[in-house]
């Protein structure tokens, strides 16, 4: 097992280096539009996995991701706009004098955003995590909206409904790839540690988990805070990618994107979240053709007009949960062992039969 462990570690390192090389290539050779999509995939992968920590691993159905993203995005928005450009942004109501001269580099703003999101999650978690199922979903969704409402009303800090422009735009695949890689490594390490197993125990059976000495509240809160931290980081990157933040960007319907990602990828699968993020993000971009007028041989197809894309998106979510509840990966993971095993004995689809016997 140890030998395999070393081999798998090396393989992972090699894969990361190759992927980084690939992101350098994408950064240098590919046009800005494609780069933006790649970046969005990466950012959505972080947030998707962060949502999977609570919903898939700890089994606590939370719908607060958009709110935590907003915290991260506003942290980036408020502190990374160059000081001399701030008056342009805050033209309606001047910025709070205590904040107007504080500047942070992006990486610091990202981490601060993550930390603030985690703190807010910790505060929210105390009352909310006693709830279960539907109630928890509604309560977290409510808090996500409250965060947004506070942001909309805190004019001197967030510029209210006008949003913050002039954020130095970050359409750099290398930077975002590294941030994603670090986030994924950290989340995976946590989930594969004893704490991650405790999360799964809570998901499987709360009463048994408690009888095994697992403090429900502490562990749920831990999962919730870690999830919020990475949602904050993802939100910060999202803000930096867009170059502007606006309370309307963080409506709770944004959370549904990540819901689809984890349902499609598999609730409780790290690699599933990654796959789900790529498919959903790239898919949503690809579906844009549905929003464009379409002509086939000179005949305009009347179905294709703005809005169809989101209809297709929501139908996909329904189909996924109705007919394909476990998604692509279920709670399984892609592992090097499985891949190598498969390469050695490529028995397409026959394995299942053998197992059944």
Partner 1 sequence: MTQNVLRTEHVTQRFGGVIAVNDLNIEVNEHEIIALIGPNGAGKTTAFNDITGVYRPTQGRVIYTGKDGKEIDITGKKPSDIATLGVARTFQNIRLFKDLSVYENVLIATHLHLKSNFLSAMFRLPWYRQEEARMHETVERFLKEVNLWDVRNEKASSLPYGRQRYLEIIRALATDPKLLLLDEPAAGMNPKETAELTEFIRRIRDEHNLTILMIEHHMDLVMEISDRIYVLDFGNTIAKGDPAAIQNNERVITAYLGEDEDA
Partner 2 sequence: MEIFQAIANMTAAGFAQHLVNGISLGSLYALIAIGYTMVYGILLMINFAHGDIVMMACYFAFFGITAFHIPWYLTFVGTIIATALLGVIIERTAYRPLRDAPKNSVLISAIGASFLLENLANYLFSGRPMHFPDIPFLSSMVPVGGVQIQAICFFIPVVTVLCLVLLLHIVNHTKTGMAMRAVSKDYEIARVMGINIDNVISITFALGSALAAVGAIMWGIRYPGITPYLGVMPGLKCFIAAVVGGIGNIKGAVLGGFILGLGEILIVAFFPAFSGYRDAFAFIVLILILFYKPTGLLGETTTEKV
Interacting positions 317-346 with partner 1 (CB under 8 A) = 331
314 binds, among partner 2, partner 1, none (CB under 5 to 8 A by kind): partner 2
Q: Does 195 bind partner 1 (CB under 8 A)?
A: yes
Q: Does 197 bind partner 1 (CB under 8 A)?
A: yes
**For residue 310, what are the CA distances in angstroms to 47, 198, 250, 315, 351?**
20, 37, 17, 8, 38
Asked if 239 and 291 touch (Cβ cutoff 8 Å), the reply is no
The token pair that represents 25 in the structure block = 């290539």
The token pair that represents 235 in the structure block = 């939100």
350 binds, among partner 2, partner 1, none (CB under 5 to 8 A by kind): none
**For residue 275, what are the CA distances in angstroms to 30, 41, 314?**
22, 10, 19
Q: Does 142 bind partner 2 (CB under 8 A)?
A: yes
Please tell me the distance from the alpha carbon of residue 68 to that of residue 19, in angstroms, as a whole number. Answer: 28
Please tell me the distance from the alpha carbon of residue 38 to that of residue 282, in angstroms, as a whole number. Answer: 8
Please tell me the distance from the alpha carbon of residue 177 to that of residue 19, in angstroms, as a whole number. Answer: 9
- CA 18 to chain centroid: 23
| Number of residues in contact with partner 2 under rule CB under 8 A | 43
Among 133, 189, 295, 338, binds partner 2 (CB under 8 A): 133
201 binds, among partner 1, partner 2, none (CB under 5 to 8 A by kind): partner 1
Among 218, 288, 325, 350, binds partner 2 (CB under 8 A): 325
DSSP 239: H
Each residue 198-217 as x (binds partner 1 by CB under 8 A) or -, in order, gives: x-xx--xx-xxxxxxxxxx-
| Number of residues in contact with partner 1 under rule CB under 8 A | 25
Q: Does 146 bind partner 2 (CB under 8 A)?
A: yes
Cβ neighbours of 100 (radius 10 Å): 15
Please tell me the distance from the alpha carbon of residue 41 to that of residue 46, in angstroms, as a whole number. Answer: 9
Instruction: Output the DSSP codes for 132-180.
Output: -HHHHHHHHHHHHHHHHHHHHH-HHHH-GGG-B--PPP---HHHHHHHH
Please identify, among the stretches 74-82, 173-181, 189-197, 269-277, the one whose residues bind partner 1 according to the rule CB under 8 A. Answer: 189-197
Please identify, among the stretches 147-155, 187-195, 233-241, 256-264, the one whose residues bind partner 1 according to the rule CB under 8 A. Answer: 187-195
Interacting positions 5-64 with partner 2 (CB under 8 A) = 55, 59, 61, 63
For partner 2, the closer of residues 213 and 307 by Cβ is 307
Please tell me the distance from the alpha carbon of residue 311 to that of residue 89, in angstroms, as a whole number. Answer: 35
Q: Does 149 bind partner 2 (CB under 8 A)?
A: yes
Q: Is 104 exposed, middle or buried (0-12, 13-18, 19+ CB in 10 A)?
A: middle
Interacting positions 160-219 with partner 2 (CB under 8 A) = 207
Please identify, among the stretches 22-30, 106-114, 124-132, 236-244, the one whose residues bind partner 2 according to the rule CB under 8 A. Answer: 124-132
Among 25, 135, 217, 342, binds partner 2 (CB under 8 A): 135
SS3 131: coil
For partner 1, the closer of residues 155 and 331 by Cβ is 331
Give residues in contact with partner 1 (CB under 8 A): 186, 189-190, 193-195, 197-198, 200-201, 204-205, 207-216, 222, 226, 331
Give residues in contact with partner 2 (CB under 8 A): 55, 59, 61, 63, 127-128, 130-131, 133-135, 137-139, 141-143, 145-146, 149-150, 152-153, 207, 253, 256, 259, 263, 267, 305-308, 310-311, 313-315, 317-318, 321-322, 325
């Amino acid at each position: 097992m140890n030998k395999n462990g070393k081999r798998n570690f090396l393989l992972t390192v090699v894969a990361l280096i190759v992927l980084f090389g690939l992101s350098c290539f994408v950064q240098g050779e590919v046009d800005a539009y494609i780069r933006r999509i790649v970046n969005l995939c990466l950012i959505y992968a972080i947030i998707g996995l962060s949502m999977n920590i609570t919903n898939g691993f700890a089994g606590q159905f939370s719908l607060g991701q958009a709110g935590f993203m907003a915290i991260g995005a506003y942290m980036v928005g408020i502190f990374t706009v160059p000081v001399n450009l701030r008056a342009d942004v805050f033209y309606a109501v001047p910025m709070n004098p205590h904040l107007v001269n504080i500047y942070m580099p992006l990486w610091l703003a990202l981490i601060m955003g993550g930390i603030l999101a985690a703190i807010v999650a910790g505060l929210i978690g105390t009352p909310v995590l006693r709830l279960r199922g539907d109630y928890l979903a509604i309560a977290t969704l409510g808090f996500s909206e409250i965060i947004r409402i506070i942001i909309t009303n805190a004019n001197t800090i967030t510029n209210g409904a006008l949003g913050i422009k002039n954020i130095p735009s970050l359409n750099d695949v290398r930077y975002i790839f590294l941030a994603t890689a670090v986030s994924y490594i950290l989340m995976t390490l946590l989930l594969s540690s004893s704490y991650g197993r405790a999360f799964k125990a809570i998901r499987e059976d709360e009463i048994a988990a408690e009888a095994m000495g697992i403090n429900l509240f502490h562990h749920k809160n831990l999962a919730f805070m870690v999830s919020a931290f990475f949602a904050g980081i993802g939100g910060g990157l999202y803000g930096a990618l867009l170059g502007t933040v606006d309370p309307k960007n963080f409506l709770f319907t944004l959370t549904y994107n990540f819901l689809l990602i984890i349902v499609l990828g598999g609730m409780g699968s790290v690699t599933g979240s990654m796959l789900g993020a790529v498919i959903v993000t790239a898919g949503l971009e690809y579906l844009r053709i549905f929003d464009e007028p379409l002509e086939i041989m000179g005949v305009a197809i009347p179905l294709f007009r703005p809005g169809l894309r989101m209809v297709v998106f929501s139908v996909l979510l329904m189909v996924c949960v109705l007919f394909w509840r476990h998604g692509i990966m279920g709670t399984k993971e892609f592992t090097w062992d499985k891949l190598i095993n498969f390469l050695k004995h490529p028995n397409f689809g026959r394995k299942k039969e053998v197992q059944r016997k």
